[in-house]
Chains A and B, each alone.
Chain A
Amino acid sequence: MKLTIKQVTKTFKEKKALDAIDLELTTGVYGILGANGSGKTTLMRILASVMKPTSGQVLLDGQDIMAMSHEYRNLIGYLPQHVGLYKNFTAEKFLKYIAALKGLPKEETDEKVDEVLELVGLSEARRKKVGEFSGGMKRRVGIAQALLNDPKILIVDEPTAGLDPKERIRFRNLLSKISSNRIVVLSTHIVSDIEFIAKEVLILKEGQLIKKETPQRLLKGIEDKVWTLVIDENEIPRYQSQYKVGNIARVDDRFQLRILSDDQPDHDAIQDHPNLEDLYLYYFDEEETA
C-alpha cells in the first residue's frame, strides 16, 4: 500500500499554505514536524479528503483519492486537530454512533466498540459522559473513533497538544501499539512525541517540505553543530542574540547553554550529541519553538 502526494498545493486567497508537496508514504509512522502555521493541518485535511488541494493530487496505489470517494473514506481514520465530541453522549454511545456513520455492519459494532475502548484504556469509563472526560481521555476517545473501521491509513493532527506529560507518554505508547500494518501520519510541534516512534520525520516550513529523513539520518546531519558552553549569567543575552540557543541549565552559580552553530561559538565550547530538540531548533526560529 502506498500513498503518493503529487505536487500538492493549497492556496487560501493569497496565502500559500502548501507549496508543491511531493511525498510517498508506505506502512509505518510518519511524524510531520512544523511550527504553527507551517501547513500541517492543511496537509492532514487533504490526506483525510475533507479538503481539496488547489492543484496536484493524492493517490492511493495509483488511484486518485477524490475519485475513490467512499472507498477511500472507508480506509481511513482521522482525528482532526480541533474536534468537538457530542458532550451528552457516553463514550460507548458516541462510538456506536460513529460506527453507524462509518457504515460498520450492525452485528460487528458492539464487538468493535468494546475492542477500541479496551485498546485506548477506556473500558471502565465507557458509561461516563464524554463531556465529563479529561483532555487526555477525550483525545483517547478521538483515537478510538478513528480506529473503529480498522483503518489502513490513520491520520492524527497534533494528538498530544494540551496533554500533560504522563498522558503524553501514554498516548505515544498507544500509537506505537497500533501502528503496525498501517500508514500512520502524525503531526506535532513537539519533537519528543515522535523521536522514538517515527519511521521518518517530515519537516514542513512555510508550506514547503524541507526534509524527509529517518530520525537518525536527520540527527547525523547536525552532528557537528551542537555545542555546550558554560558562562556567567550576564553573558547569556549576548549568546542568545548571536546564536540559536536551546536548553539553558544552571551549573552551580553559572549557566550551561546549548548552542546550535555551524562554527564553534567559543574556545571553551564543547561539541555534544544532537537530539531532535536541537534539530527542531536548527530548522525553526526560536520564537516558533515556544
Chain B
Amino acid sequence: MRTRKLHHTYDTENDNQIEELELEIGTFLDEYDVEYPTEEEIMLTIHAIRPHVPVKENKWNTAIKGMASIIKQAYEEMFYVSPLFWTANGLLFLIALTGVFVMDGNPYTMMMVLAPIPTITGLIEVLKSRNSGMAELEMSFKYSFQELILSKMLVVGGFNLVINLLVTISFGMLNQEILVSKLLLYWMTPFTVFTALSLLFVGRYRGIYSITGGVVLWLTSSVFLSQTTVVERIESMPAEIYLLVIAAAALTVLFQAIHIYKRGVSFETNH
C-alpha cells in the first residue's frame, strides 16, 4: 500500500511537461473568467453565516450548559433506575421511622446511620453499566460517559437528599421535642461525607469494589455509633465541627465532579 517512488528523471521531465502544457494552453485558460456574485449576494451569505459563529466562550455559560445537560440527562435516567432501588430505600426509611416512634430509638443517631444508605446502594445503579458490560457502548454515545456517570450520581444524591428531608420534616412534625437543626446536622454530615467518598470511588475503582468498600465503611461506622460512649462523645461535639466537615465534604464533591467531567473515569477497556 506504500506509494511507489517515481523515478527521479521521470519526475523532472514530468514537471517540465506540466509547465510547457500550462504555457501552451494558458491563453485559453485565461479566458475562463468567473461570474462573481454581487455585493448583495455576498452580504446574504455573510448573514447566513452569522448564526454559526461560535458564541463567546464564557466560562460560566459553558459550565451552566454542562450542568443543564447533566440535569436533563439525570431526569431521563430517573425513569431507568431499577424499581428495586426506590423500594428498598423507601422501606429502609419506614424502618427508621418505626424504630424511632414505635421502639423509641434515638432519632439523631438513627438518622446518622441511615442517611448515606441510598447513596451507597445507588452506587450499584451508577456502576450498572460497568457491571453489565454496557460501559464501552456508552462511551461511544453523544453524551459522554462522564456526563452519564455524573447524571446518575445526581439522581442518586438527589433522591437521598429528598428522602432525608422528608424524614426530617416528619420527625419535626410528629415529635415536638426534636431539634430540627440538630437533626439536619446529624444527617447532612454522613450524607455529604459518603457522597464525597462515593464520587472518589467512582472515579478510581472498578465496579463492585467500591460498593463493598462503601458497605464495609458504613457498617463499621454504624457499629461504632451504636456504642453509647461514642454517641455521647458525638453529641458533645460543637456544631462548628459538623459544619466544617460538611463544608469540606461538599467541596470534595464539587471538585471530584468537575474532575470526572473533565478527565473521565479511569477505565481500561478490556476483553
Chain A residues within 8 Å of B, Cβ to Cβ? 22, 41, 45, 48-51, 69-70, 73-74, 76, 78-89, 93, 97-98, 100-103, 145, 149, 209, 212
Contacts and interface: CB of A to CB of B under 8 A. Distances in A.
Contact of A80 (B82, B131, B136, B148): B136
Contact of A50 (B73, B133, B269): B269
A158 to B, nearest CB: 12
A96 to B, nearest CB: 9
29 contacts: A41-B271, A45-B269, A48-B140, A49-B140, A50-B136, A50-B140, A51-B269, A73-B142, A78-B137, A80-B140, A82-B133, A82-B136, A82-B271, A83-B136, A83-B137, A86-B80, A86-B128, A86-B132, A87-B132, A89-B80, A93-B80, A100-B73, A100-B80, A101-B73, A101-B141, A101-B148, A145-B137, A209-B1, A212-B1
Interface string B106-146: 00000000000000000000001001111011111111100
A50 B139 contact: yes
Contacts of A85: 132, 134
A97 B141 CA distance: 12
A135 to B, nearest CB: 14
A103 B269 CA distance: 24
A209 to B, nearest CB: 7
Interface of B: 1, 73, 76, 80, 82, 128, 131-134, 136-144, 148, 269, 271
B242 to A, nearest CB: 39
A84 B1 contact: no
Nearest to A210: B1
B140 A76 contact: yes
A180 to B, nearest CB: 22
Nearest to B139: A50
Contacts of B82: 88
A89 B139 CA distance: 20
Nearest to A81: B271
A103 B147 CA distance: 12
A103 B138 CA distance: 12
B132 A101 contact: no
A11 B268 CA distance: 13
Given A45-B269, A83-B137, A100-B76, A149 B132 contact: no
B142 A74 contact: yes
B240 to A, nearest CB: 44
A41 B270 CA distance: 10
Contact of B142 (A51, A81, A87, A102): A102
B137 A80 contact: yes
A165 to B, nearest CB: 25
Nearest to A78: B140
A52 B134 CA distance: 19
A101 B1 contact: no
Nearest to A69: B144
Contacts of A81: 271
Contacts of A101: 73, 76, 138, 141-143, 148
Contacts of B1: 22, 209, 212
Given A82-B136, A88-B82, 6 more contacts: A86-B80, A97-B80, A98-B141, A102-B141, A103-B142, A103-B143
Kindly name the residue among B80, B137, B143, B271 whose own CB sees the greatest number of chain A CB atoms within 10 A. Answer: B137
A83 B134 contact: yes
B269 A84 contact: no
Sorted nearest first, the 9 A-B pairs with minimum C-beta distance are A84-B133, A84-B132, A78-B140, A50-B139, A103-B142, A100-B76, A80-B136, A101-B141, A48-B140
A81 B82 CA distance: 26
Contacts of A79: 137
B134 A84 contact: yes
